[in-house]
Amino acid sequence: MAIIDPRHAAKQLIYERIFRSATLIAAVLVLLILGGVAVSLLRGAWPALAHFGFSFVAREIWNPVTDQFGALAPIYGTVMTSAIAMAIAVPTGFGIALFLTELCPPLLKRPIGVAVELLAAVPSIIFGIWGLFVLAPVLQRHIQPWMIRVFGDLPAIGHLFKGPPYGIGILTAGVVLAIMVLPFIAATMRDVFDTVPPMLKESGYGLGATTWEVIWNVVVPHSRVGIVGGIMLGLGRALGETMAVTFVIGNAHRISSSLLAPGTTISSAIANEFTEAVGDMYTSALIALGLLLFLITFTVIAAAQAMLRRLERRSGAVV
């Protein structure tokens, strides 16, 4: 029977306490930093919020000359570009992840997987330059005229495709964002799909299920928590993107019913105007935009966490 050295045990106990204290300090430090950011934003935004009240969120005007500011147009642009990006990136990323894990030949699996991961390493400003000089002209000359011609007269959705084909605008920004968040969503879903035990899939095939039935009835239910997490990761990335959107959205403080028209987002408005802000009210209004973006992102993350916990409880109940 081994005898424990009291001195060794005491030393290990000290190490354990140091380790626990260090991890606790690191966790509390994150909360302090987050709280400090929130307090700084609130302090800087307070003059604008106190002056305009709720109308700051509810009105569209943005006129630095007369010190009249409203955040509705940037909020609208942020929501719309993110929605377009997720509508494109989620099904595409889901398909890429399924192909790599379930259908891809072994010879192509690694090259495609590496290419998807390398796409996440491209700087956002490169996406912005590519979007401005390559994507926008293609959309202006070929895609947007076709969309206006085909969808412009349809009921209910026709107003989304009215107006001249500018090339830059809400739709272009959404497409660029979709390309930027695609590798995050695809890589996360691929890693989650890889965690499905092979025995579960083999059991499905043994019962005579097709590949689609195994994917839909075995892989997706087992991975739904990770799927939602990947989607929320991409959404958080889309909400806060700055430089790429600034290049292609047109930076117009107005709301248009057409997705082809120029617009603005919270992050692009701050990036464009903060260095030129003259006067306390102008600066405070821009900081208030930052506070709104902080709250929107925090709300999205909180909603994602609540959804994940509910999915986990449902999975536990089913098991």
Q: What is the pLDDT of residues 113-125, one digit of tens each?
A: 888 888 888 898 9
pTM above 0.75, yes or no: yes
Q: Where are the alpha helices (DSSP H) in the chain?
A: 6-52, 55-58, 72-98, 106-119, 124-130, 136-138, 144-151, 170-194, 198-206, 211-214, 220-240, 243-248, 266-273, 280-318
**What pLDDT, on the 0 to 100 scale, is given for residue 12?**
84
Interacting residues of 85 by C-beta distance below 8 A, sequence separation 6+ = 174, 175, 177, 178, 180, 181, 234, 238
pLDDT tens figures, 145-183 = 999 999 988 888 888 998 888 899 999 999 999 999 999
Distance between CA atoms of 174 and 271, rounded to whole angstroms? 18
Residue 120 CB coordination number (10 Å): 14
Q: Which two tokens stand for residue 167?
A: 């090339």
**Separation of alpha carbons 282 and 62, rounded Å:** 10
| Domains of the chain as residue ranges with CATH | 69-280+291-318 (1.10.3720.10)
User: Radius of gyration (Cα) for the chain, nearest Å?
Assistant: 25
CA dist., res. 281 & res. 217, Å (int): 56
Determine phi and psi for 68, rounding to 5 degrees: -115, 120
